[in-house]
Structure 1
Amino acid sequence: MTQAITVEESRELDDKTINKIGIPSLVLMERAGLKIYENMLDNKDLDLSNVLILAGTGNNGGDGLVVARLLATHGYQVSILTVGNPDHASEDHLAQARICNYYQIPKVFMNADFNKFTTLVDALFGSGLSRNVGGDFATVIDKANASTAKIHAIDIPSGLNGDTGEVMGTAIKATSTSTVAYPKVGMLKDQAKPYTGKIYVDDIGIYRGNAFENE
C-alpha cells in the first residue's frame, strides 16, 4: 500500500526538514525541480517541444520556475505565465524568478493561446489550498483544461483538496503529477484519479520516521 500523508503532516515535515534538521528551503526546491524535470522527460505521454509553466507566486510556483530553467538550459522551448499578486511572492519564488530573468526565459500573459503549447506545467498551488479557487487562478485552470496541451502537475493538481481529493471549485486535470516526498492522502481517493493522472513520487530528502530519527 502506498504511504501517504495529510496536508498538515506535509507542512510539519517541511518545517522540521528546514528549521530543525537545517536543510535550506532553496536546496529542497532545487531538488524538487530536478526530480520533476526528470519525471517529465520520463513520461512519453508528454511532448516537451513547447512548454508553458503556469506559476503561482508561492513555493509551488518556485518549483515550476526551477523546471523552466532546467528545460531552457537543456535546449527546450519554454515560457512562463505568472499568476497571482507579485507583492505576495515567497522569498524562494523571487530567487528563482531572478534566475529565470538571467536566462531570459520568455514570459506570456493571461491572453496567451494555450493551444500553441504542447505541455503545460501546473505550478499554481501546492497541497495546502484551503478555499475554493477563484479569479485569475480559476480562469487559468479552466483555460488549461480546455486546451489541447497535456498537463503535468507539481505536488498536487491545483484545485484538488489534499486531504479529501475533492475539487475546490475547479481543478487541473493532469496527465501526470509529480508529488513531493509522499502522496497526499486526497490524491489516492477514487474521485481524484481523473485529475492526478500518472503519479510520480519524488524523494527530495524529506522523511517521516526512520532509523535516523532524532526527537
Structure 2
Amino acid sequence: MPHRIPETSPLPHALYRAEQLRLLDRAAIDEAGIAGGELMERAGRAAYRLLRTTWPRARSLTVLCGAGNNAGDGYVVARRAAADGLAVRVIALADPDGLRGDALAKAVAYRDAGGRILSDPALPARTDVIIDALLGIGIGRDVEGRWAEVIRASNAHQAPVLAIDVPSGLDADTGAVRGTAIEAQGTTTFIGLKPGLFTGAGPDCCGRIHFDRLDVPATVYARTVAAARRIDWPSQRHLLAPRRRTAHKGDSGHVLVIGGAPGLAGAARLAGEAALRAGAGLVTIATHPAHASWLNIGRPELMCRGVETPVDLAPLIERADVIALGPGLGQDAWGEALWRAALNAERPLVVDADALNRLARAPRRSDHWILTPHPGEAARLLGLSTAAVQLDRIAAARTLQERFGGVAILKGAGSVIVGPSHRPPAICSDGNPGLASGGTGDALTGVVAALLAQGLELEEAAEVGVCLHAAAGDAAAREGERGLLASDLIAALRGTLRSVEAR
C-alpha cells in the first residue's frame, strides 16, 4: 500500500498562530453563520477524502481520539469509514462522554451508528492506516503518560499515519516537539496554516501537508493579520526581472567574497561560484595568498586576489558593490584584520560563518547587513543553547534582528527571515534534507550577495535568495537527497533561474 501523500494544490501563504485560529473559527461560526458542528463535519469529511485518495486499498483503520475538538474530527472520520464498510477501531484516550459541544455530538453520532469506542490504548498489530486525532492545536504542555506511549507506538507501527490539523505533540506556533510528537506521512490542516508546520520539527512530523479552508469565506480573514508568511520560489521569483537584451556585466553588480584562510579555501570558492550562478556580473574573492593562485582552477570566471592586510583589501572593496564576509575566514589574526576592514567599508554585507562567530564575541548593530546564522551560530549570537533557539525559531530570528539590525536569516528546515519592515516573519517551505551538508550555507551567502548586487533591497534579497537556494536544492535532489553536494546545488541554480527569463 503506498505511503506517499499525493500532490495537492498550492498552499496559502498566510500563517496563523493557534490563538488566531480559534478566533477565525469563532468568526466563521458567529459572522459567517457556519455551525460549529458543520465545520467539524467538513473537517472530518476532508480528512476522510484524503485518506481514501492516498490509501485507496485501505480496509482497516485505527482512529486515535483525544479530549477536544480534534477528537470530534476523528469521530467524523470513523463514522464515515464505517459507513463505507471499513473495519474501524476507535481508541479514546479521554472518556468520550466527557467531551463537550460538537465533539461530544460527533462521538455520540459515531456510537449511535453502531461504532465501538475502546479505552485500551494498545494499537492493533495490523491496521492499514492510523488517524491521529489526539491533540491538534490544543496542546499546552509536554505530552506525558499514556498519551506519549500511544504516540511512540504509532511512530513505531508499520502503518502510515494521517494527522488531523496538527500532528499531536507538535507546537503549532513554533514547530517545537512538546515531549514527543506524531511523525505522520501526511497532515490535513484546516481554516489556516500554522507556522509550526513549516519550521523546527514541523517538516519531520507533518509529512506532506494538505490544506482545506472548509469553505470559510474570505471575509472571515479580513480583520486578522497573519502571524507569519510562508514563502517559496514560485511566490518570490517575480521580484527578479528578466534581463534587458542590451545588459552588460556592470548592470548585475560586483560581489566581493572575503574569506578562505589556509585550509578553508573551499568555503570562499563555493560562495563565489554561487554568486556567479545566481547572476552577479563580477565576483572577486579576497583570500589568503597561500592559495590565491589556484583557487579558481576549474572556474576561471572567478577573480582571486591574495590579500595579506587591510591595505591589500582596500582597492577590492572600492570596486565592489556588495561584500560576502565570512566563508572560511578563520579565527586567526589574518581573518580578524579583514573582518574589521569589511565592517568599516560602506558596502552592504552578507555575514556568515566565522564572521558571525566574531560578531558574537564583539556585538554591534548595522542596518546594512544580512546575517545568515545556522542554529548553533544563532545560539552564540544570542547567548543561548542551540536547543533553546530551536524551541522557537521565529522568536530567535526576531531577537537576532532586533539586537543586531539589518535582516536575519535563521537557517535550517523552514528557514526564518526577519527584516526591519513591519511585515510578518517569513518561513521558506522549499528545501530538503540533502541541503544538510557542508558548503550549502556558503552557497546561500553567495546567492544572497548576488541578488543584492543585482539591485534587490536587503529584505527582498534575503527572502528571494533563501527560496532560490532551496528550490535549486530541490532540483538537485531529483538525483537523490543523500550525497547531495553544495556544488550540485550551485549547478542547479542556472536552471532554477530559467523561469525568470522565460517570463
TM-score (norm 2): 0.40
| Higher Rg | 2
Partner of 1:152: 162
SS at match of 1:127: helix
Match of 1:42 among 25, 49, 53: 53
Q: Could you tell me whether the CA contact under 8 Å between 1:52 and 1:119 is conserved in 2?
A: yes
Specify whether residues 109 and 149 from structure 1 end up closer, same or farther in structure 2 by C-alpha distance, changes over 3 A only. Answer: farther
Tell me, in whole angstroms, the C-alpha distance in 1 between the residues paired with 2:119 and 2:215. 35
Match of 1:25 among 30, 36, 47: 36
Pairing 1:66–2:76 present:
yes
Specify whether residues 180 and 24 from structure 1 end up closer, same or farther in structure 2 by C-alpha distance, changes over 3 A only. Answer: same
What CA deviation, in whole Å up to 9, does each residue of 1:63-98 have, x standing for no partner?
000000111111111110011244641221211111
What CA deviation, in whole Å up to 9, does each residue of 1:84-117 have, x standing for no partner?
2446412212111111112212333435343311
Specify whether residues 72 and 208 from structure 1 end up closer, same or farther in structure 2 by C-alpha distance, changes over 3 A only. Answer: same
What CA deviation, in whole Å up to 9, does each residue of 1:109-163 have, x standing for no partner?
4353433112110000121312111122112111111111110000000000001
User: Match for 2:47: what amino acid?
Assistant: I
Partner of 1:114: 124
Partner of 2:193: 183
Match of 1:14 among 25, 28, 47: 25
Tell me, in whole angstroms, the C-alpha distance in 2 between the residues paired with 1:214 and 1:189. 25
**More displaced stretch, 172-181 vs 95-104:** 95-104
Partner of 1:53: 63
SS at match of 1:54: strand
SS at match of 2:43: helix
TM-score (norm 1): 0.90
**More displaced stretch, 173-182 vs 84-93:** 84-93
Partner of 1:196: 206
**More displaced stretch, 200-209 vs 152-161:** 200-209
SS at match of 2:136: coil
SS at match of 1:51: strand
Higher relative contact order (CA 8 A, sep 6+): 1
What is the Cα-based RMSD across aligned positions, in Å? 2.2
Q: How many residue pairs are counted as aligned between the two chains?
A: 213
User: Match for 1:11: what amino acid?
Assistant: R
Q: Could you tell me whether the CA contact under 8 Å between 1:154 and 1:177 is conserved in 2?
A: yes
What CA deviation, in whole Å up to 9, does each residue of 1:14-50 have, x standing for no partner?
1111123331100100111111111111214x75221
SS at match of 2:131: strand
Identity level (%): 34
Tell me, in whole angstroms, the C-alpha distance in 2 between the residues paired with 1:111 and 1:158. 15
Gaps of 5+ in 2: 1-11, 225-503
Gaps of 5+ in 1: none
